[in-house]
Amino acid sequence: MNILLLIVMVVFGIAAILTIVRIVRGPSILDRAVASDVLLTEVMCVLGAEMAINGHTRTIPVMLIIAAIGVFGSIAVARFVARRDNTTP
Convert the pLDDT of each residue in 1-60 to its tens digit.
688 888 888 999 999 999 999 999 988 888 999 999 999 999 999 999 889 988 999 999
Give the per-residue pLDDT at 89: 60
Q: How many CA atoms lie within 13 A of 13 on its CB side?
A: 6
Report the C-alpha gap between 61 and 47 in whole angstroms: 11
The whole domain housing 44 covers 3-87
Residue 88 pLDDT exceeds 80: no
Length of the chain: 89
Give the per-residue pLDDT at 86: 72
The b-or-e profile of 74-89 (16+ CB within 10 A means b, else e) is eeebeeeeeeeeeeee
What element of type H or E holds 14? helix 3-25
**Residue 80 pLDDT level (bands cut at 50, 70, 90):** confident
The beta-strand segments (E) located in the chain are none
Per the structure, the count of domains in the chain is: 1
